[in-house]
Amino acid sequence: MLFPYYRPRRLRQNKEFRRMIRETALSTDDLIAPLFTISGKNVKNPIESMPGHYQLSVENLVQEAKKIYNLGIPAIVLFGIPEKKDPLGTQAYAKKGVVQKGINAIKSKVPGIIVITDVCLCQYTDHGHCGFVEGNTINNDATLDLLAKAALSHAEAGADMVAPSDMMDGRVLEIREALDENGFTNLPIMSYSAKYCSAFYGPFRHAADSAPKFGDRRTYQMDPANSLEAIREAAMDVEEGADIIMIKPALSYLDIISRLRDEIDLPLAAYNVSGEYAMVKAAAEKGWIDGKKVMMEMLVSIKRAGADMILTYFAMEAAMELKKG
């Protein structure tokens, strides 16, 4: 097809033509909104590095979940900031833990919304790592039982889905077995299958108070230089019982999203992370970019790469833009 016989601009000349041939469609159905919950009453702590987001006590958490659901967004993912931390992260699996209370409150007041819970220990441990620490080493196998206990406690509190984000080997199988043995065979697992050791998590670690107190997470999160490893990680999670696999972060790993879309025949999620959000907000505040247009372009790029669903701090703003048509 050569010019002048083929002229691509013929189908770009008005918005109706552009709508008709558009290859990628973004909708509110694709969005999952992250929320942070904290102990206390009437708490709404602004997260400085993530404008528009807050640490919310349970009554404010419920109100935010209502707003999200009323915008047509089907799901939230819930993160907790406990009152107390300890070496074993016991508040992660406490029956009356902050996340467990949040799940119960949301499901009683906003029953239609899907509540997905982050399953990890980093917010709950006094050392800030995602597992059981021995010396300066994270003990993979000793961590698995703690993660399974956390996932089970979320299920018992009423969660609709659990999402292990720790990157310990074998945790999906351990969680699947714990859920099945306790009558939760129908509760799905969204696994953070390819979670890279990324500098884009900075604002989240501030929001969740989860920065490691020593070292970093390179011994368990993935090397940003690797792509074949992502296929192995995802395949292992599928074999262990994952129902949805996730890539995190999204924007610097669009190639991984695309590659896993070709390799794995399961629903695929991508996490548009806090650093990606913060950069857009900061540049928009400076007047250097049109923040809303950049937001929508970013989300479309993630969908175009192959993601079926997007966890994003832009969820509510994007939903409002989509309602405008």
Task: Report which of 56, 37, 59 is spatially closest to residue 46, judged by C-alpha positions.
Answer: 56
Catalytic residue of the set 85, 101, 149, 195: 195
Token pair, residue 134, equals 């021995």
Catalytic residue of the set 248, 286, 292, 324: 248
Q: Given 3.10.20.30, 3.20.20.370, 3.40.50.2300, 3.20.20.70, which CATH number is that of 25-324?
A: 3.20.20.70
Asked if 214 and 136 count as a contact pair (C-beta separation under 8 A), the reply is yes
**Residue corresponding to tokens 């999200």:** 68
Task: Report which of 305, 304, 303, 324 is spatially closest to residue 29, judged by C-alpha positions.
Answer: 303
A 10 A CB-CB count for 1 gives 6
Taking only the tens place, the pLDDT of each residue in 8-28 is 999 999 999 999 999 999 999
Residues in the chain with pLDDT values less than 50: none
Q: Is 195 one of the catalytic residues? A: yes
Asked if the peptide bond before residue 249 counts as cis, ω within 30 degrees of 0, the response is: yes
The domain segmentation of the chain, as residue ranges, is 25-324
> Which pLDDT does position 42 carry in this prediction?
94
Asked if the peptide bond before residue 46 counts as cis, ω within 30 degrees of 0, the response is: no
Give the global pTM: 0.95
Q: Kindly tell me the sign of the dihedral angle through the C-alpha atoms of 24, 25, 30, 35.
A: positive
With a pLDDT cut of 90, the percent of the chain lying above it is: 88
Asked if 256 and 228 count as a contact pair (C-beta separation under 8 A), the reply is no
